[in-house]
Structure 1
């Protein structure tokens, strides 16, 4: 029997999305290869026909090619989707160097370029992908507020921002959603970021809710990764940490067997059970995986099952990213009174 995806309110400004979204990064970048365009368009159409209307992309995915793909896929379907894109995360040298920009001129140029690639007049939810530590968040938000007024974007979001940055941004213009990594093996956001979002009425969008695939497949995932898949350099996927983390997956697998679902559905159901203000956006390039992810919405977890899963997750070994990669996670910005960029 088909599972109804359902709808939810994301944030307090009126945006309504499907209760589960679709992360589109893997269709064009990040995991070692690009998938055939016609297959990915068929996947996007299938997701939309199945009730998933919330699609997530960024100008850095590809770079640029993912937005172009979505532009093609959304022809004739614009009114059936809520589209999120992002700006400010720039690849300077592939695999080695990135730049982050939040200055007004760049914000506007990036938005207009994304609209052109997406073949749209307006982006539903526009995130600052990473926080520019050189530019006060008030300055960046000022330009985004102008774009809202001009009808080029409907709602504003932040990704990987600190609690103080979220507060300062929200004071300039309401933030509709904060996107962050949240899963059974990435729970650091629960201490400060999640409570801040809830205090301010900001929606929470959880990316990588399946632990970048590990919570779906466990260690065998590593056997199928292409040579240039970026997960190969992530600490949690290094042999010494995988040897430990595999026991966590094995326990998740045992619990999922008991529940009559897959490990992926169990891990995703845990995110869904975090609250009605949380929308996970698992990514996939396969229709069967997408259907399986939707099935997570029918998995009901009792408080003792939630506690059992959470006790397992406390033992994850390895950082999210290698120490050689700057993530700009939870970054703060200068005081607007000392900024001289205007």
Structure 2
């Protein structure tokens, strides 16, 4: 079974996507040949909603990697592609650039990297020096020129979303959401999305891998090139690890009763907790976990099970900031 969400009377997309960032950065080393096999397998099993960004990996590595697979045979016709712009590297630091000039540069570069126009194009982070209206106007111009079909924002406030929606139709936003991070429920973003008819791509729907249970201790994430052990995500820090892991253990108990993995339970919860509003986009480098994540489509939760999951989330509040100082500085307020 593949869950879908309706965008219009004639267009629907899968409700479970694939986040490709880890193939290029962030979560340890990745091998391009192995990554291509994972992407090809995703197409084979119908896991065909992919999410990337110009800034993932050096020299737009992630877009180029996906593009190399999308160019094979008729693969492009089988995949729905989302990419993002508005962030760039500057002397080793990420900085925002929401200028119309950068937008035009990025969409053309993305089309070249991917081999075709992306289906969805999102502003990766809000530039506090450029009014969001100017960024969105440039995106709408690209849509009118046929360089993308849908546009949206990422990591923005409810107020910024409402401002953007006055300039053009916003189809999607991308926000962190999982049992590990439910802040958008209290910030007004969920309400704004429902009000405006905007779907939500949920990035890190497994809490940056925390909810998979594969990391049983802080030492498990201390790997070369893995930002989870670098302080980038304070919720992984040693001093809060044992406390935060109680949520994983609670979810594992529910999953065991359900006959599924804790990761599948978390993804199913995200897909069902707000109707068809949320589209999780978990990432992985391996075919094994790709298939495991995709099987979350088959996990149907009863209202009693949904209530039980909500109960353990409330009983096991996560400690630590969502991001470290550098990443937090890029967030909209």
**Which bin holds the TM-score, normalised by the shorter protein?**
over 0.9
Whether 1:296 aligns to 2:296 is: yes
Q: How many residues align?
A: 323
State the match for 1:247 in structure 2.
Answer: 246
In 1, distance between residues paired with 2:177 and 2:205? 6
State the match for 1:20 in structure 2.
Answer: 16
| TM-superposed deviation, 1:29 | 0.7
Say what the alpha-carbon RMSD is for the aligned residues: 1.7
Query: 8 Å contact 2:67–2:113 — kept in the other structure?
Result: yes
In 1, distance between residues paired with 2:130 and 2:255? 46
TM superposition score normalised by structure 2: 0.92
Query: 8 Å contact 1:28–1:66 — kept in the other structure?
Result: yes
Residue of structure 2 aligned with 1:226, choices 223, 227, 237: 223
Greater RCO (CA < 8 Å, at least 6 residues apart): 1
Residue of structure 1 aligned with 2:153, choices 153, 158, 167: 158
In 2, distance between residues paired with 1:325 and 1:47? 30
In 1, distance between residues paired with 2:304 and 2:144? 47
Per mean C-alpha deviation after superposition, the further-off stretch among 269-278 and 154-163 is: 269-278
State the match for 2:331 in structure 1.
Answer: 329
Whether 1:138 aligns to 2:133 is: yes
TM superposition score normalised by structure 1: 0.90
Change (3 A) 1:99 1:194: same
Query: 8 Å contact 1:218–1:249 — kept in the other structure?
Result: no
Whether 1:305 aligns to 2:305 is: yes
| TM-superposed deviation, 1:281 | 0.6
State the match for 1:57 in structure 2.
Answer: 52
The C-alpha deviation readout for 1:120-168, integer Å capped at 9, x for no partner, is 1x11100000001111111111111111111111110100111111111
| TM-superposed deviation, 1:225 | 4.2
Residue of structure 1 aligned with 2:97, choices 90, 97, 101: 101
Change (3 A) 1:188 1:119: same
Query: 8 Å contact 2:19–2:283 — kept in the other structure?
Result: yes
| TM-superposed deviation, 1:32 | 2.8
Whether 1:148 aligns to 2:150 is: no
The C-alpha deviation readout for 1:277-310, integer Å capped at 9, x for no partner, is 2211110111111111111121122223222222
Change (3 A) 1:13 1:108: farther
| TM-superposed deviation, 1:49 | 1.6
Q: Could you say what secondary structure the match of 2:126 adopts?
A: coil
In 2, distance between residues paired with 1:289 and 1:78? 23
| TM-superposed deviation, 1:9 | 2.1
Change (3 A) 1:201 1:110: same
In 2, distance between residues paired with 1:7 and 1:270? 15
